[in-house]
Protein backbone atom coordinates (compact mmCIF):
# COMPACT_ATOMS: atom_id res chain seq x y z
CA UNK A 1 0.00 0.00 0.00
CA UNK A 2 3.02 2.31 -0.01
CA UNK A 3 2.24 5.65 -1.65
CA UNK A 4 -1.26 4.56 -2.63
CA UNK A 5 -3.76 7.36 -3.00
CA UNK A 6 -6.89 6.68 -0.97
CA UNK A 7 -10.00 8.82 -1.33
CA UNK A 8 -12.60 8.60 1.43
CA UNK A 9 -16.17 9.87 1.16
CA UNK A 10 -18.00 10.60 4.39
CA UNK A 11 -14.62 11.45 5.89
CA UNK A 12 -16.10 13.47 8.76
CA UNK A 13 -18.43 10.70 9.92
CA UNK A 14 -18.01 8.12 12.66
CA UNK A 15 -16.18 5.59 10.48
CA UNK A 16 -14.67 8.13 8.11
CA UNK A 17 -12.66 9.85 10.83
CA UNK A 18 -11.27 6.51 12.01
CA UNK A 19 -10.30 5.61 8.44
CA UNK A 20 -8.55 8.94 7.88
CA UNK A 21 -6.70 8.63 11.20
CA UNK A 22 -5.59 5.07 10.49
CA UNK A 23 -4.56 5.60 6.88
CA UNK A 24 -2.69 8.84 7.60
CA UNK A 25 -0.50 6.80 9.96
CA UNK A 26 0.64 4.70 6.97
CA UNK A 27 2.54 5.86 3.90
CA UNK A 28 -0.67 6.34 1.93
CA UNK A 29 -1.80 9.67 0.54
CA UNK A 30 -5.23 10.28 2.04
CA UNK A 31 -7.93 12.51 0.55
CA UNK A 32 -10.91 12.87 2.86
CA UNK A 33 -14.12 14.48 1.61
CA UNK A 34 -17.19 15.38 3.63
CA UNK A 35 -20.53 16.53 2.27
CA UNK A 36 -19.35 20.14 1.91
CA UNK A 37 -16.27 19.13 -0.09
CA UNK A 38 -17.95 16.54 -2.32
CA UNK A 39 -21.68 16.18 -2.87
CA UNK A 40 -21.95 12.54 -3.95
CA UNK A 41 -25.35 13.24 -5.53
CA UNK A 42 -23.68 15.62 -8.02
CA UNK A 43 -22.52 13.34 -10.84
CA UNK A 44 -20.25 15.91 -12.49
CA UNK A 45 -18.63 17.01 -9.24
CA UNK A 46 -17.89 13.44 -8.20
CA UNK A 47 -16.38 12.68 -11.61
CA UNK A 48 -14.30 15.86 -11.63
CA UNK A 49 -12.82 15.31 -8.16
CA UNK A 50 -12.05 11.64 -8.64
CA UNK A 51 -10.58 12.29 -12.10
CA UNK A 52 -8.37 15.03 -10.64
CA UNK A 53 -7.16 13.03 -7.62
CA UNK A 54 -6.97 9.71 -9.52
CA UNK A 55 -6.94 7.57 -6.38
CA UNK A 56 -5.94 3.91 -6.41
CA UNK A 57 -8.56 3.14 -3.74
CA UNK A 58 -11.90 4.77 -2.92
CA UNK A 59 -13.64 4.03 0.38
CA UNK A 60 -17.24 5.12 0.04
CA UNK A 61 -18.49 5.72 3.59
CA UNK A 62 -20.85 8.63 2.87
CA UNK A 63 -24.50 7.71 3.33
CA UNK A 64 -27.97 8.79 4.36
CA UNK A 65 -28.24 7.02 7.73
CA UNK A 66 -31.34 8.50 9.41
CA UNK A 67 -33.28 5.24 9.46
CA UNK A 68 -36.60 6.59 10.72
CA UNK A 69 -36.51 9.78 8.64
CA UNK A 70 -35.93 7.70 5.52
CA UNK A 71 -39.49 6.41 5.73
CA UNK A 72 -40.77 9.90 4.89
CA UNK A 73 -37.74 11.09 2.91
CA UNK A 74 -37.69 8.23 0.43
CA UNK A 75 -36.37 10.26 -2.50
CA UNK A 76 -33.49 11.66 -0.46
CA UNK A 77 -32.51 8.25 0.92
CA UNK A 78 -32.36 6.73 -2.58
CA UNK A 79 -30.71 9.82 -4.06
CA UNK A 80 -27.81 9.56 -1.60
CA UNK A 81 -27.53 5.82 -0.96
CA UNK A 82 -28.39 4.52 -4.44
CA UNK A 83 -27.58 7.19 -7.02
CA UNK A 84 -24.81 8.77 -4.95
CA UNK A 85 -23.20 5.35 -4.81
CA UNK A 86 -23.72 4.92 -8.56
CA UNK A 87 -21.87 8.18 -9.14
CA UNK A 88 -18.91 7.07 -7.04
CA UNK A 89 -18.86 3.62 -8.67
CA UNK A 90 -18.85 5.02 -12.20
CA UNK A 91 -16.07 7.50 -11.42
CA UNK A 92 -14.04 4.84 -9.59
CA UNK A 93 -14.28 2.50 -12.56
CA UNK A 94 -13.07 5.23 -14.93
CA UNK A 95 -9.81 5.70 -12.98
CA UNK A 96 -9.47 1.94 -12.27
CA UNK A 97 -9.60 2.44 -8.48
CA UNK A 98 -10.52 -0.31 -6.07
CA UNK A 99 -13.86 0.54 -4.46
CA UNK A 100 -15.06 -0.17 -0.92
CA UNK A 101 -18.76 0.39 -0.29
CA UNK A 102 -19.93 0.45 3.33
CA UNK A 103 -23.29 -1.29 3.65
CA UNK A 104 -25.46 -2.55 6.48
CA UNK A 105 -27.10 -5.49 8.25
CA UNK A 106 -30.40 -3.76 7.45
CA UNK A 107 -30.35 -5.32 3.97
CA UNK A 108 -31.78 -8.41 5.73
CA UNK A 109 -35.35 -8.86 6.99
CA UNK A 110 -34.41 -10.30 10.38
CA UNK A 111 -36.69 -13.34 10.07
CA UNK A 112 -33.81 -15.80 10.33
CA UNK A 113 -32.65 -17.45 13.54
CA UNK A 114 -29.22 -18.24 12.09
CA UNK A 115 -26.46 -15.72 11.33
CA UNK A 116 -26.59 -14.27 7.82
CA UNK A 117 -23.60 -15.13 5.64
CA UNK A 118 -22.67 -13.28 2.47
CA UNK A 119 -24.56 -15.70 0.23
CA UNK A 120 -27.98 -15.16 1.79
CA UNK A 121 -30.21 -13.07 -0.48
CA UNK A 122 -31.04 -9.63 0.98
CA UNK A 123 -34.65 -8.75 1.73
CA UNK A 124 -34.76 -5.33 3.43
CA UNK A 125 -37.87 -4.25 5.35
CA UNK A 126 -37.32 -0.49 5.60
CA UNK A 127 -36.47 2.33 3.20
CA UNK A 128 -32.95 2.75 4.56
CA UNK A 129 -32.16 -0.93 4.00
CA UNK A 130 -33.71 -0.88 0.53
CA UNK A 131 -31.67 2.18 -0.47
CA UNK A 132 -28.43 0.62 0.77
CA UNK A 133 -29.24 -2.61 -1.07
CA UNK A 134 -29.82 -0.55 -4.23
CA UNK A 135 -26.36 0.96 -3.68
CA UNK A 136 -24.86 -2.52 -3.43
CA UNK A 137 -26.38 -3.48 -6.77
CA UNK A 138 -25.03 -0.37 -8.48
CA UNK A 139 -21.55 -1.20 -7.16
CA UNK A 140 -21.73 -4.80 -8.37
CA UNK A 141 -23.17 -3.83 -11.76
CA UNK A 142 -20.93 -0.86 -12.55
CA UNK A 143 -17.57 -1.72 -10.99
CA UNK A 144 -15.16 -4.60 -11.49
CA UNK A 145 -12.92 -4.34 -8.40
CA UNK A 146 -15.14 -3.88 -5.38
CA UNK A 147 -15.47 -4.77 -1.73
CA UNK A 148 -18.99 -4.48 -0.32
CA UNK A 149 -18.56 -4.32 3.46
CA UNK A 150 -21.72 -4.92 5.47
CA UNK A 151 -21.47 -3.97 9.12
CA UNK A 152 -23.79 -3.38 12.06
CA UNK A 153 -24.37 -1.45 15.29
CA UNK A 154 -21.29 0.73 14.79
CA UNK A 155 -20.00 2.84 17.67
CA UNK A 156 -16.85 4.77 18.46
CA UNK A 157 -15.40 8.05 19.63
CA UNK A 158 -16.97 10.21 16.93
CA UNK A 159 -20.56 10.99 16.06
CA UNK A 160 -23.73 9.74 17.70
CA UNK A 161 -24.08 6.09 18.61
CA UNK A 162 -25.72 3.75 21.11
CA UNK A 163 -22.77 3.50 23.50
CA UNK A 164 -22.39 7.26 23.85
CA UNK A 165 -26.16 7.66 24.22
CA UNK A 166 -26.27 5.08 27.02
CA UNK A 167 -23.36 6.75 28.80
CA UNK A 168 -25.08 10.15 28.67
CA UNK A 169 -28.44 8.77 29.79
CA UNK A 170 -26.80 6.69 32.51
CA UNK A 171 -25.37 9.82 34.09
CA UNK A 172 -28.79 11.50 34.20
CA UNK A 173 -31.25 8.68 34.79
CA UNK A 174 -31.25 5.76 37.21
CA UNK A 175 -33.71 3.66 35.23
CA UNK A 176 -33.73 2.90 31.51
CA UNK A 177 -35.86 0.68 29.29
CA UNK A 178 -33.98 -1.09 26.47
CA UNK A 179 -35.35 -3.54 23.90
CA UNK A 180 -34.31 -7.15 24.32
CA UNK A 181 -35.80 -8.68 21.15
CA UNK A 182 -33.47 -7.14 18.56
CA UNK A 183 -30.30 -9.20 18.19
CA UNK A 184 -27.19 -8.06 16.32
CA UNK A 185 -23.44 -7.54 16.38
CA UNK A 186 -21.92 -4.41 17.97
CA UNK A 187 -18.98 -3.12 15.93
CA UNK A 188 -16.18 -0.86 17.14
CA UNK A 189 -15.35 1.67 14.40
CA UNK A 190 -11.61 1.30 15.06
CA UNK A 191 -11.78 -2.45 14.39
CA UNK A 192 -13.93 -1.93 11.30
CA UNK A 193 -11.44 0.58 9.87
CA UNK A 194 -8.54 -1.80 10.53
CA UNK A 195 -10.30 -4.64 8.69
CA UNK A 196 -11.06 -2.40 5.71
CA UNK A 197 -7.36 -1.54 5.56
CA UNK A 198 -6.57 -5.27 5.45
CA UNK A 199 -9.05 -5.82 2.62
CA UNK A 200 -7.80 -3.05 0.35
CA UNK A 201 -4.29 -4.45 0.41
CA UNK A 202 -5.61 -7.48 -1.52
CA UNK A 203 -7.52 -8.28 -4.68
CA UNK A 204 -9.89 -10.63 -2.87
CA UNK A 205 -12.95 -8.75 -4.07
CA UNK A 206 -16.54 -9.46 -3.09
CA UNK A 207 -19.04 -9.04 -0.27
CA UNK A 208 -17.79 -9.17 3.33
CA UNK A 209 -19.59 -9.17 6.66
CA UNK A 210 -17.42 -7.21 9.09
CA UNK A 211 -18.57 -6.89 12.70
CA UNK A 212 -17.02 -7.78 16.00
CA UNK A 213 -17.48 -11.45 16.94
CA UNK A 214 -20.41 -12.63 19.02
CA UNK A 215 -23.90 -11.18 19.25
CA UNK A 216 -26.28 -9.69 21.80
CA UNK A 217 -29.53 -7.81 22.22
CA UNK A 218 -29.61 -4.05 22.71
CA UNK A 219 -30.50 -4.77 26.35
CA UNK A 220 -27.44 -7.01 26.79
CA UNK A 221 -25.31 -4.41 25.05
CA UNK A 222 -26.52 -1.68 27.42
CA UNK A 223 -25.96 -3.97 30.42
CA UNK A 224 -22.36 -4.55 29.32
CA UNK A 225 -21.78 -0.81 28.85
CA UNK A 226 -22.83 -0.07 32.42
CA UNK A 227 -20.88 -3.02 33.79
CA UNK A 228 -17.72 -1.72 32.11
CA UNK A 229 -18.20 1.82 33.38
CA UNK A 230 -19.48 0.98 36.86
CA UNK A 231 -22.49 3.26 36.41
CA UNK A 232 -25.39 2.14 38.58
CA UNK A 233 -28.45 2.10 36.35
CA UNK A 234 -31.57 -0.01 36.69
CA UNK A 235 -32.13 -1.56 33.28
CA UNK A 236 -35.57 -2.84 32.35
CA UNK A 237 -36.24 -5.07 29.35
CA UNK A 238 -38.92 -4.12 26.86
CA UNK A 239 -40.09 -5.21 23.42
CA UNK A 240 -39.80 -3.49 20.06
CA UNK A 241 -43.61 -3.28 19.87
CA UNK A 242 -43.62 -1.26 23.11
CA UNK A 243 -41.75 1.59 21.40
CA UNK A 244 -43.02 1.77 17.79
CA UNK A 245 -40.77 3.62 15.35
CA UNK A 246 -41.49 4.82 11.79
CA UNK A 247 -39.02 2.28 10.34
CA UNK A 248 -39.29 -1.43 11.01
CA UNK A 249 -36.13 -3.01 12.41
CA UNK A 250 -34.89 -6.53 11.66
CA UNK A 251 -35.27 -8.47 14.92
CA UNK A 252 -32.29 -10.70 14.13
CA UNK A 253 -29.46 -9.33 12.00
CA UNK A 254 -26.39 -11.22 13.18
CA UNK A 255 -23.73 -11.21 10.46
CA UNK A 256 -21.59 -14.30 9.89
CA UNK A 257 -18.10 -13.43 8.54
CA UNK A 258 -17.89 -16.39 6.18
CA UNK A 259 -16.06 -14.38 3.51
CA UNK A 260 -13.36 -13.26 5.95
CA UNK A 261 -12.85 -16.84 7.06
CA UNK A 262 -12.76 -18.39 3.59
CA UNK A 263 -10.45 -15.69 2.22
CA UNK A 264 -7.86 -16.14 4.96
CA UNK A 265 -8.61 -13.06 7.05
CA UNK A 266 -8.72 -13.14 10.83
CA UNK A 267 -12.17 -12.61 12.30
CA UNK A 268 -12.62 -9.54 14.50
CA UNK A 269 -12.28 -9.83 18.27
CA UNK A 270 -15.31 -10.37 20.49
CA UNK A 271 -17.58 -7.34 20.85
CA UNK A 272 -17.19 -7.34 24.62
CA UNK A 273 -13.39 -7.08 24.38
CA UNK A 274 -13.68 -4.19 21.90
CA UNK A 275 -16.24 -2.44 24.11
CA UNK A 276 -13.95 -2.70 27.13
CA UNK A 277 -11.13 -1.03 25.19
CA UNK A 278 -13.39 1.76 23.95
CA UNK A 279 -14.84 2.46 27.40
CA UNK A 280 -11.32 2.69 28.84
CA UNK A 281 -10.24 5.21 26.21
CA UNK A 282 -13.52 7.13 26.40
CA UNK A 283 -13.30 7.55 30.18
CA UNK A 284 -9.68 8.71 29.97
CA UNK A 285 -10.60 11.42 27.46
CA UNK A 286 -13.85 12.49 29.16
Q: Are 84 and 65 in contact (CB under 8 A)?
A: no
Q: Are 20 and 11 in contact (CB under 8 A)?
A: yes
Catalytic residue among 128, 155, 208, 219: 128
> Is residue 128 among the annotated active site residues?
yes
Q: Tell which residue, 213, 212, 204, has the closest CA to residue 259.
A: 204
Q: Are strands 5-9 and 29-33 parallel, antiparallel or unpaired?
A: parallel
Closest by CA position to 118, among listed 270, 264, 266, 261: 261
Whole-number Å distance between alpha carbons of 100 and 70: 23
Determine if residue 177 is left, alpha or beta; phi over 0 gives left, psi from -120 to 50 gives alpha, anything else beta. beta
Query: CA 133, CA 145: separation in Å to the nearest integer?
Result: 18
* Residues sharing a CB contact under 8 Å with residue 272, sequence separation 6 or more, in sequence order: 214, 224
Q: Which residues pair with 184 in a beta bridge?
A: 216
Secondary structure element (H or E) that encloses residue 63, with its range: none
Sequence-ordered alpha helix ranges (H) in the chain: 14-24, 43-53, 74-78, 84-94, 127-142, 162-172, 189-200, 218-229, 258-262, 271-285
Angle at which helices 162-172 and 271-285 pack, to 10 degrees?
A: 60
Q: Which residues are catalytic?
A: 128
Amino acid sequence: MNRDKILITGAHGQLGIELVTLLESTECEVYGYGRNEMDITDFEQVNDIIDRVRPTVIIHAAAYTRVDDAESEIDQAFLVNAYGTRNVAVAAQKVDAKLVYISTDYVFDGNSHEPYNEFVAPSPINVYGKSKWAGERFVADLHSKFFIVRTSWVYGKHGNNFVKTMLKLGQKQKELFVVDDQIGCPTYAVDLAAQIFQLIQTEKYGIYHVSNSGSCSWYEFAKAIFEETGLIVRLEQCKTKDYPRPAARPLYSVLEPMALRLNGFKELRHWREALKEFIGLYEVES
